[in-house]
Amino acid sequence: MRPISKKRSAALKEYAKAKKEFVAEWSNKRTNTVACHRCLKHVPTKKITIHHMRGRVGSLLYDTRHWGLLCLTCHQWVGDHPSEAREAGLLCAKGLWNTPDRS
């Protein structure tokens, strides 16, 4: 049995490409850093994390409209404080998690 299906493998390849382009779009080419969208600290591009503000199911995995760039500390904070993260605009409203945006 395959550890990852062919379909999921293809989706992960598409995700890796989209992630690379998204980080490059936000990065400072001169310093090779990206500002965390929460704390604004500059983080090396290889250490920044993609935060999926609406979930990762299906097409949401690579829907950049619902992505944010967070340092590891802030990404952990979002997971630990969902109510505050929602108020800060870092998580979708209740009931929308893992629901693709139809617009």
Per-residue pLDDT tens over the stretch 34-70: 999 999 999 999 999 999 999 998 889 889 999 999 9
Give the predicted TM-score (pTM) of the model.
0.87
43 within 8 A of 34, measured Cβ to Cβ: yes
More reliable by pLDDT, 48 or 102? 48
Burial of residue 47 (number of CB atoms within 10 Å: 0-12, 13-18, 19+): exposed
